[in-house]
Amino acid sequence: MSNGSLADMLLNQEKRPNWEERMDIARDISIGILYLHQECETQIIHCDIKPQNILMDDNWRAKISEFGLAKLLKQDQSNTYTEIRGTNGYVAPEWYQKQAITVKADVYSFGVMLLEIICCRKCVDYSRSEDEAILEEWVYECYAMEKIGSLVGDEMVEVRKVERMVKIGIWCVQYDPSLRPAMKKVLLMLEGTVEIPIPPNPISFSSSI
């Protein structure tokens, strides 16, 4: 598409959208994933949700692309077993555990990407300090230490808005797929129509949503 990919926009300071525009993009993407998961005649797990596969159209609306790794589920099927698919940094933990794969794998990838949209950086960046190299770990640490402002640098954004989006991202990247919200719930969270509980550390198994 004419306006390139979301990855191009996030990492190019001259092209980078402002906070509200980035949140509109996140909502567009969530609507697209929800369509794949619940509104298609055949349920689809995309398996490779990442900024490089989000293209911006002429009206700067986000469109999901690259379905080469996607898995189509039969009507009576809610999960599948398959070899690891996707891109390092966005692949849900259950892939590595050789567990059944569900639509929650896409929710995990979306969560990683949402954190990238918030922070305008790559999910894995070893040029940064050890504490900041893995985005989801750094984000949770900043959230737990009440240092949310650190995530957006000098950008002028209300802390409560950043905190809300961070909480959504943390829920989406929970290690246990059963703790991740469905995309319908994610969309409602993004739209501000439901309350967002305090998320646990992503590797905790003790909470649910």
Q: What is the mean pLDDT of residues 158-184?
A: 97
List Cβ neighbours of 175 (8 Å cut-off, separation of 6 or more).
93, 202, 203, 204, 205
- 202 has a pLDDT exceeding 50: yes
pLDDT of 12 higher than 90: no
Q: pLDDT tens digit string along 39-98?
A: 998 999 999 999 999 999 988 899 999 999 999 998 888 899 888 899 999 999 999 998
Average pLDDT across the chain, whole number: 93
Distance between CA atoms of 18 and 9, rounded to whole angstroms? 10
**Annotation says 48 is catalytic:** yes
Does 197 have pLDDT greater than 60? yes
Global confidence as pTM = 0.94
Indicate which residue of 8, 24, 48, 154 is catalytic. Answer: 48
Q: What is the pLDDT of residue 9?
A: 93
DSSP the chain: -TT-BHHHHHH-TTT---HHHHHHHHHHHHHHHHIIIIISSS-EE-S--SGGGEEE-TTS-EEE---TT-EEPPTT-S-B--S--S-TTTS-HHHHTTPPB-THHHHHHHHHHHHHHHHTS-SB-TTS-TTTSBHHHHHHHHHHTT-GGGGTTT----HHHHHHHHHHHHHHT-SSGGGSPPHHHHHHHHHT-S--PPPPPTT--S---
Q: What is the pLDDT of residue 14?
A: 84
Domains and CATH numbers, the chain: 6-66+87-191 (1.10.510.10)
For the chain, what percent of residues have pLDDT higher than 70?
97
Q: How confident is the model at residue 1 (pLDDT cuts 50, 70, 90)?
A: low
